[in-house]
Amino acid sequence: METLNGTKTKDNAIKTIKTIKLFDVTEISIGGFTHNLKAKVKTGYYTMNDNWNYLSIHYKKKTADFYLSEENLNIWFLGLSRFIKREKLEIKILSTFGFFIFKLKLKLIKKIKLMLEHKEKLDKSKTKLFIDIVKFAKYNHIGMENLPFVKVLLLFEKLSYTLNVSLNFK
């Protein structure tokens, strides 16, 4: 297999809509952080409700971004990852463990942002550091994704305890 083909079904006919040659691919990522996708979000063409469901295939000068169901994302990402390893291709891709941890981190960030909408419940007597982290989380969208997983998890735990919120990702 040297190409990825996108297909579209119309009147029981299958039509190729995009072909990406694998030797042109430099990276495969998730999370919807490509310049191409961010530009489409700014114009209102896409929304970023569940950004962990975006699969981006980076190749020389462009990216191809796909929004997939969680099940399809897992299938595509893990299949591509195994193929890349088996064929020993020089394509940057997260490990299987890194993939699931990154998805969980993005889900935690979304929960944190939802909890911050209820900031009136936050106790103002909390330490300055905690208040600074909450402000950072609210006003620095890009920075949240760059925080290590453990810091995001600890922030989530602290906020959920403070706001008495349960862990639910549905």
Question: Does 65 lie in the same domain as 116?
Answer: no
Residue 158 lies in a domain: yes
- Structure confidence at residue 28 (pLDDT): 93
Residue 167: predicted pLDDT: 54
**Residues 6 or more apart in contact with residue 143 via CB below 8 angstroms:** 136
Spatial CB neighbours of 20, under 8 Å, sequence gap ≥ 6: 3, 4, 57, 59, 64
| Residues of the domain holding 11 | 3-94
Whether 36 and 78 map to the same domain: the answer is yes
- The verdict on 80 and 29 lying in the same domain is yes
Instruction: Indicate if the pLDDT at residue 13 is higher than 80.
Output: no
Q: Comparing 161 with 89, which gets the higher pLDDT?
A: 89
Same domain, residue pair 70 and 138: no
For position 2, what pLDDT does the model report? 47
Do residues 38 and 116 both lie within one domain?
A: no
Note whether residue 66 is domain-resident: yes
Domain count, the chain: 2
d(CA 148, CA 151): 6
- My answer on whether 90 and 114 are in the same domain is no
Crossing angle between the packed helical segments 96-116 and 128-139, to the nearest 10 degrees: 100
Give the Cα separation of 169 and 108 in Å (integer): 8
Q: Does residue 21 sit in the same domain as residue 87?
A: yes
User: Which amino acid does the sequence have at 34?
Assistant: T
Asked whether residue 77 falls in the same domain as residue 113, the answer is: no
Query: What letter would DSSP give residue 23?
Result: G
Question: What is the spatial distance between Cα 123 and Cα 165, in angstroms, rounded to a whole number?
Answer: 15
Per-residue pLDDT of 44-100, as tens digits, reads 776 667 778 889 999 888 888 888 888 999 999 999 999 999 999 999 999 999 999
As given in the structure block, the two tokens for residue 135 are 């402000």
Query: Domain check: are 9 and 86 in the same one?
Result: yes
pLDDT mean over 21-50: 79
User: What's the pLDDT score for residue 4?
Assistant: 54
Q: Say yes or no to pLDDT of 15 above 60.
A: no
Look up tokens 């008495």; give the residue.
164
Strand 92-93 and strand 25-30: pairing?
parallel
Residue 8 CB coordination number (10 Å): 10
- Examine the domain organization and report whether 88 and 37 are in the same domain: yes
Do 90 and 142 fall within a single domain? no
Alpha carbon of residue 91 to chain centroid? 18
Both structure tokens of 37: 């996708």
Task: Tell me the torsion sign for CA atoms 47, 48, 50, 53.
Answer: positive
Q: Which amino acid is at 53?
A: N
Whether residue 5 is predicted with pLDDT greater than 60 in this model: the reply is no
With respect to residue 99, please indicate whether it lies within any of the assigned structural domains: no
Please identify, among 94, 118, 133, the residue that sits at the C-terminal boundary of a domain.
94
Last residue of a domain, one of 43, 63, 94: 94
Is residue 77 in a domain?
Answer: yes
Q: Is the same domain home to 31 and 84?
A: yes
In the prediction, which pLDDT does 26 show? 93
